[in-house]
Each structure stands twice: as structure tokens, then as C-alpha cells.
A and B are shown apart, each in its own frame.
Chain A
Amino acid sequence: MILSLNGQPAHQIDDGNWRDYVPDDDFRVRDSEGNEYFTGCLPVEEWDVARMATMPFEASGIVLFDEKEIGERLEDMWAAKASLMHLGYPDDSLDQSRSTCWIHGTCGAASLMFAQANVPYRVPSPASVAFHCYSNFGVNGGYPTLGVEKFQQYGAATVDLWPENGHSKSYDKAETRDNRKYQWLEEVVETGSGEAGFWRCMSAICQGFPVGLSYSWWRHYVYGCWGRLDRREVKIGIRNSWGNSGYGDKGFGLLAGSRKYPAWSCAFLRMRQSPGEL
């Protein structure tokens, strides 16, 4: 049994229980206690992938490790307390209040990249990116590639100035326009879908790069940042955006079985932390 950092069994979604997490028609998941959580990722067929600036995996510096090797590497990272879950654990989980997973996931991964670069703690506001994507901030659903594109193009303000669910144009002012210059999503790598995409993502995670993961069965987008080898199966560790108590251990959990294979994914290589050319 895989334990999370709080000493409890890690939350896991697999082929046995995934139907408990399937959203109803309006991107909401209701658990057995009646708690409601939002997903918000539109089907892949509705995305405009071509607009996003990404690097092909084969041309990135990410090495594709052998599948058998990845499990050993993940356990090595875990034992050394060097997984990205260890790094991100002290910080709170994001908590989307609407169907904005499509940008919450990427901003969560970005905050982890800042932590890895050992800069002062900062969280890029999902709402500040969504502002450039949809007139209604995409609160009824969106697609992650648009969020990536606009994060690369406009940067993001931090949540202390623009709350993560601040779906209001009133936050777009001189102060946040200046602040967003210091949080840019820069290099993003296409890692693909299905089993092949999964192994590219795990390779990226072993090399210290978080990944964005979209799941059609879940209509949800999360970020992946850790993993474990459990009874000879490599499971991907994610961080959800349902708050500290809404999912797993402060948002961290595992996906296993066929539920772990993404419909689309990418790896985040670099954040820029200062003004530069657009």
C-alpha cells in the first residue's frame, strides 16, 4: 500500500472506482457526502491545439527512460525526499470554485516550478490568465492548450493581487499588469496521449519537470508531479485543484490502471521570472 506524506493511504483512482468521479453534464462531481467539485475540461475534439507554442518531445532535452527503469527512479526520488510532491507539499492546493480546471492545473504546476527554482513562494492566478481566454473567464469549461497559449503570451499575476477565482475585470489594472510580467510560462513540451504519453510524462517527472494531464473520462485537467511503483505498476501522482481537504492529501493522489493514460498531456520545462520580449 502506498502511503501519502500524511501517513495515510494515498488517494487513488483506478479502473475499480473511477465511476465515482465521473462528472455529470455540467462538469460537477458530487461525492457520497454531497460535496460538489468542479472539473471543466472540454473534450479534446473541441480544442484548438494548433495555436499553442510547444516543442516536440523528440526535440526537447527530456530523455525518454525505459519503462522498467522509471519505477526504480521514482522510488529513488521518493526515498530521497526529492519528489516534486515533497517539494510542493508545504504549499496549499489550489481550489477552483467553478469549471476552471483547464487553467488551474497549469497554474498549479507553475507554482511548483517556482518552488523548484527556489524563488520566493508565488502562485500564478488562474483567473488572471483566464481573463485573456474567455469573456466569462471560462467558468463553464475550457481547454488547457488555450490556457497554456495565453500564459505564454501574457504571463500571470500572483494570487495576492488577483485571487485565483477572481473572475472580475476589476482586477485588470496597472498593478496586476506590471506584476504579470514576472510570471511567464515559457517552454512547454508536447508529451502526447495514451500509453506513450504516459511514459513520456513519467520520464519528465523523473527529471524534475511537472506535467499537465487531461482526462476525457474525468472531463478534468490536473498536473502530475510524482509517481510510485506499486506492485510492479507505475502509478502517476497528481495534484488536484479541489482544495486541501477536497481531494487526497492536500490535493495529492494517484491514478492507476487505464485511468492514468491521458487524452492529452504536456511537460513544463521552464518559467521565466522577469520581463522579456513577447
Chain B
Amino acid sequence: MRYLSIALLLLTASIAEAQQLLVVKLSDNKHVAFEVDAAGGYKFLGTYTSVRGIGDTPDPPQPPPANAWSNATGGLHVMIVDDENLRGKLPQSQINIFTSTVLRAWLDKTCPKGKDGRPAYRLSSNDSLAEGGEARKQELPVYIQGWDLLMKSGVALPAWIVANGKRTTIEPLPNTVDAAIARLEALK
């Protein structure tokens, strides 16, 4: 973890007896914390700012190896990942990508069917396939691999991972539906 967050560490210690500490990320260095009680009620604890250590600089995202998404075989595979908590900070044209029927129709037509009979694409969130979660146990290995590669790449969300069987691309999500389709045409 590149950034120190002293306040959050102290907070965690102070509410050790709470049922759960919920931290919502508002931006790269700002978080909101809640205490969740046994009845599922939320208590707002405060807004915390991460403190960056001197000389602490994040590594730039590294491009993946040529065929990093090795399980994505048989045609175009696409995985789009966003952080729903940050969606409101995006331009509307980019938000539209997550609900676009035009993009979905293109993906339905272009992507091959996976082992589950569904076209080989997913629209996912930044915690949907996290380690230890039940959803991870239910998902096909190819998408778990893709999600892991994207989340470890360091590319800021929203982002996508695209593979055509020969090359894997991880990059920020384009800004519009049209740009997304044009980019996928180039990558397929």
C-alpha cells in the first residue's frame, strides 16, 4: 500500500468491538468511514484523508505481457470494471457505457459464447470478485483471471481488459460509447 492512513488505523483500533467498519472510497486519498452495528444500521464516523509518505510515488501502470489473459481464448473477451461510488464524477458520456444497449448489442454479436453460454464479456465492479467473496467462487475462471489482471495493473478505474487470443490490453475506459466500440473494433 503506497499511502499511509494513520487516521484509519487509529479508527479501526478504537471501534474493535463494532460489528463492522465500512470504508467508502470517495477519491484516491479521501475515504468516508461508517460503523455498522449488529442490526445493519450505519453510523457516520467521519471523512479521512490519506497521508502520503515523503518520497512515496506510485509506480506507473505497467503494460501486461502480450497474452496475459491466457484463459480468454476463442475470440474477443472484454471485462469492464468501474467503482460505483465514483461514477458520479465521470462525464455522462462515459457513465452511459455501463448502461448502453448499443454497446451490449455489439458485444452480444461479436464476442463468442463462453462455457456458461453467455457472450464473453462482463460489466463488473471493483469489489465484485474480491478474494474470499462468494461471487468469486461462482464466476468462471476466465473472468476471475481477467478481473485480477486488471485490478493488479494499477490502471485507474473505470477501465477494461480486452483480449483477442493473441494480445491483452488493459487501459482506461474510453469516454463515449462510440469511442468504446471503435476501440474494440481495433482490438478484436
Q: Quote the shortest CB–CB distance from B99 to chain A (angstroms).
A: 5
Q: Quote the shortest CB–CB distance from A276 to chain B (angstroms).
A: 5
Q: Are B88 and A80 in contact (CB under 8 A)?
A: no
Q: Are B121 and A53 in contact (CB under 8 A)?
A: no
Contacts between the two chains (Cβ within 8 Å), count = 95
Closest to A278 in B: B40
The answer, yes or no, to whether B55 is at the interface (CB within 8 Å) is no
Tally of A interface residues using CB under 8 Å = 38
The answer, yes or no, to whether B137 is at the interface (CB within 8 Å) is yes
CB-defined contacts of B89 to chain A, threshold 8 Å: 63
Instruction: Provide the bound-state CA to CA distance between A80 and B39, in Å.
Output: 41
CB-defined contacts of B125 to chain A, threshold 8 Å: 270
Instruction: Provide the bound-state CA to CA distance between A61 and B42, in Å.
Output: 15
Q: Are B134 and A77 in contact (CB under 8 A)?
A: no
Q: Are A53 and B39 in contact (CB under 8 A)?
A: yes
CB-defined contacts of A87 to chain B, threshold 8 Å: 99, 101
The answer, yes or no, to whether B44 is at the interface (CB within 8 Å) is yes
Q: How large is the interface on B (under 10, 10 to 19, 20 to 34, 35 or more residues)?
A: 35 or more
The answer, yes or no, to whether A82 is at the interface (CB within 8 Å) is yes
The answer, yes or no, to whether A273 is at the interface (CB within 8 Å) is yes
Interface residues of A in 147-180 (CB under 8 A from B): 152-153
- A82, A117, A275 pick with most chain B CB within 10 angstroms: A82
CB-defined contacts of B102 to chain A, threshold 8 Å: 80-82
Instruction: Provide the bound-state CA to CA distance between A276 and B137, in Å.
Output: 11
CB-defined contacts of B88 to chain A, threshold 8 Å: 61-63, 65, 203, 207
CB-defined contacts of B100 to chain A, threshold 8 Å: 80-82
Instruction: Provide the bound-state CA to CA distance between A274 and B42, in Å.
Output: 23
Q: Are B26 and A275 in contact (CB under 8 A)?
A: no
- Contact string against A for B residues 96-109, beta-carbon threshold 8 Å, 1 for contact and 0 otherwise: 11111110100000
CB-defined contacts of B50 to chain A, threshold 8 Å: none
CB-defined contacts of A276 to chain B, threshold 8 Å: 133-134
The answer, yes or no, to whether B131 is at the interface (CB within 8 Å) is no
Q: Are A82 and B87 in contact (CB under 8 A)?
A: no
The answer, yes or no, to whether A145 is at the interface (CB within 8 Å) is no
Closest to A225 in B: B99
Q: Are A207 and B95 in contact (CB under 8 A)?
A: yes
Instruction: Provide the bound-state CA to CA distance between A116 and B123, in Å.
Output: 8
The answer, yes or no, to whether A55 is at the interface (CB within 8 Å) is yes
Q: Which of A72, A80, A118, A270 contacts B121 (CB 8 A)?
A: A118
9 smallest CB-CB distances across A and B, nearest first, come from A63-B88, A61-B85, A53-B40, A82-B96, A274-B134, A82-B100, A274-B135, A80-B96, A86-B101
- Knowing that A53-B39, A82-B177 are A-B contacts, what are 19 other residue pairs whose CB atoms are under 8 Å apart, sorted by A's residue number? A56-B42, A59-B32, A61-B83, A63-B89, A77-B95, A80-B96, A81-B100, A81-B101, A82-B99, A82-B101, A86-B99, A116-B123, A118-B121, A153-B40, A206-B95, A208-B95, A208-B99, A274-B134, A276-B133
Chain A interface (Cβ < 8 Å from any Cβ of B):
53-56, 59-63, 65, 72-73, 76-77, 80-84, 86-87, 116-118, 120, 152-153, 203, 206-208, 269-270, 272-276
Chain B interface (Cβ < 8 Å from any Cβ of A):
24, 26, 32, 34, 39-42, 44, 83-89, 92-93, 95-102, 104, 118, 121-125, 133-135, 137-138, 177
